[in-house]
């Protein structure tokens, strides 16, 4: 009898435990979101509940904390949570998106338009991991060891005279005063603050994002604490964080690519003197989007990336532009006025032997360059690369903008 009771107890306990274990077999990163729509207040309240199953390391670097950015699309409003140093962070932070838009009309008048929720609008939540400064494996010497010989260097050259040191200090102080008068008193503080913000963004890595359509069918619950009887909520939604590969979906020619894509604009400027010739053929770079897989690979190698665009004429490079090196990322913007290359077009048929070569390169700390991908835009190239070239020549003065994938 005693053995039978023990067996029944073990069987019943296994049955009750098996159900939650089945749900947590796939430990994918997830994020909890709750959305409430208030028709009376004309607002959309988005609550970031928390996240779970988050990665603790990126390559050889440990994650310090996590941050979630929430954005309403289409729209410019976006909010960001506080950072949490937990693998299962809980925020419970609420953000309010107004559904009233002020539009300007003629004669200085403005009109307030009330926006409605529908299936064409989305809430996008992106989760970022903020990395620590020190890697898990120490591969470099300490900075103190590197800087110690430089501190002892003045001793070898002999002592300086006291008058010289004081005069140089006075000159530097007067220069700083003059600079502060011309450029403002807080110029140093502003430079430090921008530098610290830049360092903070450089440490960010995208874990993934989730998209929730604002379909009225999804608002099926009544919020527990509501001001108005017409308020509706989606309830607690736990959505998986999908990797951001390119951010492009839809058409077949814009299929996601593991190596990455760049958004390029090609424009043939019109010639002033000769109607048969154009002035210049300008290729400018707008954005880069890379796969999360490629980012992780180069993050583990502690490599830095850069892009290079070259003008090749009759087999030789006549002009090129190269970006500054940047840490592996999934998305990056460039200034088209600066990130550009130009091919001259003095007479008709001058562009028959000209092409553009775009390269995506990784460079590690030892200086070794590894090509990630490349492609060519020119007259003898097929596919989407050749189509952009042909459209730019047919339509002078127009910007032909396309996303091109690396091969």
pLDDT at 266 over 90: yes
This prediction has a pTM of 0.50
Is there a single domain that holds both residue 300 and residue 214? no
Is there a single domain that holds both residue 224 and residue 303? no
Read off the pLDDT of residues 357-402 as tens digits, 9 standing for 90 and up: 999 988 877 778 888 889 999 888 888 898 999 998 888 888 999 9
Is there a single domain that holds both residue 211 and residue 82? yes
CATH number at residue 129: 2.60.40.150
Q: Which residue has 């913007």 as its token pair?
A: 333
- The residue out of 211, 240, 269 marking a domain boundary is 240
120 falls within a domain: yes
Read off the pLDDT of residues 275-303 as tens digits, 9 standing for 90 and up: 545 578 999 999 888 776 777 677 766 67
Is there a single domain that holds both residue 225 and residue 277? no
Strands across the sheet containing 354-363? 316-322, 304-313, 354-363, 369-377
The per-residue pLDDT for 57 is 79
The per-residue pLDDT for 125 is 92
Residue 270 pLDDT level (bands cut at 50, 70, 90): confident
Is there a single domain that holds both residue 94 and residue 235? yes
Residue 331 pLDDT level (bands cut at 50, 70, 90): confident
Is there a single domain that holds both residue 359 and residue 258? yes
Mean pLDDT of the chain: 75
Burial 130-159 (b: 16+ CB within 10 A, else e): bbeeeeeeeeeeeeeeeeeeeeeeeeeeee
144 falls within a domain: no
| Residue among 167, 79, 174, 72 nearest 123 (CA) | 72
Is there a single domain that holds both residue 119 and residue 221? yes
Is there a single domain that holds both residue 114 and residue 236? yes
What percentage of the chain exceeds 90 in pLDDT? 24
38 falls within a domain: yes
- The residue out of 240, 268, 289 marking a domain boundary is 240
Query: CA-CA distance, 268 to 216, in Å (whole number)?
Result: 47
For residues 57 and 154, which has the higher predicted lDDT (pLDDT)?
A: 57
**What crossing angle do the helices spanning 162-183 and 187-202 adopt, rounded to 10°?**
80
- The residue out of 189, 211, 240 marking a domain boundary is 240
Is there a single domain that holds both residue 334 and residue 223? no
71 falls within a domain: yes
Q: What residues does 114 pair with on adjacent strands?
A: 100
Is there a single domain that holds both residue 222 and residue 316? no
For residues 377 and 73, which has the higher predicted lDDT (pLDDT)?
A: 377
pLDDT at 77 over 80: yes
How many domains does the chain contain in total?
Answer: 2
16 falls within a domain: no
The per-residue pLDDT for 159 is 45
Is there a single domain that holds both residue 315 and residue 398? yes
Neighbours of 218 (CB within 10 A): 18
Residue 194 pLDDT level (bands cut at 50, 70, 90): low
Domain of residue 35: give its range: 30-136+201-240
pLDDT at 131 over 90: no
Is there a single domain that holds both residue 233 and residue 362? no
């Amino acid at each position: 009898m005693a053995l039978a009771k023990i067996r029944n107890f073990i069987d019943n306990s296994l049955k009750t435990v098996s159900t939650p274990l089945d749900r947590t077999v796939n430990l994918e990163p997830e994020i909890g979101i709750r959305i409430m729509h208030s028709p009376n207040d004309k607002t959309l309240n988005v609550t970031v509940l928390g996240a779970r199953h988050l990665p603790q390391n990126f390559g050889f670097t440990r994650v310090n904390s996590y941050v979630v950015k929430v954005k309403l699309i289409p729209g410019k409003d976006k909010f960001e949570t506080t950072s949490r140093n937990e693998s299962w962070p809980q925020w419970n932070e609420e953000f309010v998106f107004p559904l009233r838009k002020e539009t300007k009309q003629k004669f200085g008048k403005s009109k307030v338009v009330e926006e409605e929720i529908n299936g064409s609008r989305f809430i996008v939540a992106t989760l970022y991991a903020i990395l620590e400064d020190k890697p898990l494996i120490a591969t470099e010497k300490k900075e103190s060891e590197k800087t110690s010989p430089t501190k002892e260097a003045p001793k070898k050259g002999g002592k300086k005279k006291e008058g010289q040191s004081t005069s140089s200090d006075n000159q530097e102080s007067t220069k700083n005063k003059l600079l502060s008068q011309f450029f403002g008193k807080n110029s140093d503080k502003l430079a430090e603050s921008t530098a610290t913000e830049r360092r903070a963004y450089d440490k960010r890595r995208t874990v993934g994002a989730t998209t929730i359509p604002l379909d009225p069918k999804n608002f099926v619950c009544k919020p527990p604490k509501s001001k108005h009887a017409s308020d509706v909520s989606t309830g607690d939604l736990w959505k998986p964080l999908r990797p951001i590969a390119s951010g492009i979906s839809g058409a077949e020619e814009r299929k996601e690519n593991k190596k990455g894509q760049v958004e390029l604009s090609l424009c043939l400027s019109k010639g002033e003197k000769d109607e048969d010739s154009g002035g210049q053929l300008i290729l400018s770079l707008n954005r880069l989007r890379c796969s999360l897989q490629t980012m992780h690979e180069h993050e583990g190698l502690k490599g830095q990336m850069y892009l290079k665009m070259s003008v090749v004429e009759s087999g030789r490079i006549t002009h090129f532009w190269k970006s500054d090196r940047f840490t592996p990322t999934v998305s990056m913007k460039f200034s088209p006025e600066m990130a550009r290359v130009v091919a001259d077009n003095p007479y008709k048929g001058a562009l028959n032997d000209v092409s553009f070569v775009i390269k995506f390169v990784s460079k590690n700390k030892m200086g070794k360059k590894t090509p990630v991908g490349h492609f060519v835009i020119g007259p003898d190239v097929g596919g989407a690369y050749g189509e952009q070239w042909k459209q730019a020549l047919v339509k002078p003065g127009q910007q032909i903008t396309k996303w091109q994938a690396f091969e």
